[in-house]
Chain A
Amino acid sequence: MIEIRELTKSYPVSGGTFTAIEHIDLTIEDGDIFGIIGMSGAGKSTLVRCINLLERPTAGSILIDGVDVTAMQGSQLLALRRKIGMVFQKFNLLMQRTILDNVTLPLEIAGVEKKERKARALELLELVGLSNQAGKYPAQLSGGQQQRVSIARALANHPSLILCDEPTSALDSLTTNSILKLLRDINRKLGVTMIIITHEIGVVQKVCNKVAVIDSSVIVEQGETAQVLHNPCQLITKQLLGEADWDG
């Protein structure tokens, strides 16, 4: 379980401070596919980056299974990150490594033995449907295939949590569906908790069991997806759903 309490992140900028997120409270249960939706610049990327401390929060706490991670440093921090997978909008694969070697990379970093790394990577490429592409390079793959590789990479070190930062925003709608299906299947099969950042309501509707709506640095609405989407209270939620007059 992940408990985010009173989380705030602000940056010094010339002439004051910029607050990216403010007093965020969220509880993510094991096995959730938790959607965080908002417009560009609402703070959702900052929020997800606080969870593996790519961004250090200014205040508040993040408890993962009861342990506050926000103060972690050094080897403790590295160990934490090794157990949290991450999937990016632009895939961020290493262009000079084969598909197989991209998937073994997190294991290399964690010091897993070579034979075991390869076996695990092949197993994951099988899972994401790319077994026959192992020897190719990312440039030879389509965007959807590259995102599958990055999902396999995120799973390599047996994480219990995967952070997905706009995982489908660089993909067309058909490919988006196939990636969402893959994420949902992985969630069901392996029980991995997922946090998905998105600006597309369709992503939330299709795979998230819970959702939080973030607007101008704060969470304005959250709950079970069905409940929030059927009975939206906030204007921004209605706008994201396309229910509010866009020209108003």
Chain B
Amino acid sequence: MAETILGFLERYGGMLLEETANTLIMTGTATLFAYILGLPMGVLLTISQPYGIWPHKRLNRVLGWFVNIGRSLPFIILIVLLFPLTKLIVGTKLGVRGAIVPLIVAAAPFVARMVETSLAEVDDGIIEAAQSMGATAGQIVWKFYLPEALPSLTLGGSISVISILAYTAIAGAVGAGGLGDVAIRYGYHRSNPPVLVVTAVLLILMVQVIQSLFNFIAWKIDKRIRQ
């Protein structure tokens, strides 16, 4: 038994470690850029609504459309559609680098909706208080919406990260690298169940760790729940 495990590790350990790192790099980078794009989009979606603090019908409609289109395309199709753009931006459509562009494009609209949902949880009364104080739209976003929604944004963050992690596995199907790639190559093309199972266990562990970490942070920063 011990020999089998040692043999397995010797044979696949290095690769699994490297591809775990690749998955983390893809997930982390894509999440970062998805938030850089998605957070402002979510904020704009919220404040530009008809009864928002900065009503702007056309912008709201265009953004809403954009986000819906981004969200309605299955990720695998999006990857293929984006091949030319990906090649243009990162110089390759393969590997970890090639996966990051479609990951960001798919995740940013998702993040925008997550952010919009979190901001909608902020009590209208608090926004009314902000307006009664003579706060500008920018001040309402920075000093009211975002800080008050922070615990919810954090929990939403865990959902985004885990979705992006799942996307990286799908990207594996077209040679993106990472654990998804390993699972498909060894588990499917080469019928190697042990590698497939270990890959699945690694992904499950990652999700558990991410979720626990975000839950802990959200609980830690939320000032509503402790006496």
Contact = CB atoms under 8 A, between A and B. Distances in A.
B124 to A, nearest CB: 9
Main secondary structure on A side of the interface with B: mixed
What class of interface size applies to chain B in its complex with A?
Answer: 20 to 34
Nearest to A86: B132
Interface in A73-102: 77-82, 84, 86, 88, 90, 92-97
B141 to A, nearest CB: 13
A143 B139 CA distance: 27
Contact of A81 (B132, B143, B148): B132
Interface stretch (B29-37, B112-120, B200-208, B219-227): B219-227
A50 to B, nearest CB: 12
A5 B221 CA distance: 48
Given A54-B128, A78-B134, A81-B132, A105 B223 contact: no
B134 A81 contact: yes
Interface string B126-139: 10110111111001
Contacts, number: 72
A12 to B, nearest CB: 12
Contacts of B143: 105, 108-109
Given A95-B223, A96-B147, A137-B223, A86 B136 contact: no
A200 to B, nearest CB: 20
B179 to A, nearest CB: 37
A38 interface: no
Contacts of B18: none
B147 A54 contact: no
A99 to B, nearest CB: 11
Interface in B135-160: 135-136, 139, 143-144, 147-148, 150-151
10 contacts: A52-B132, A54-B132, A90-B123, A92-B129, A94-B126, A95-B148, A96-B150, A106-B134, A138-B223, A163-B132
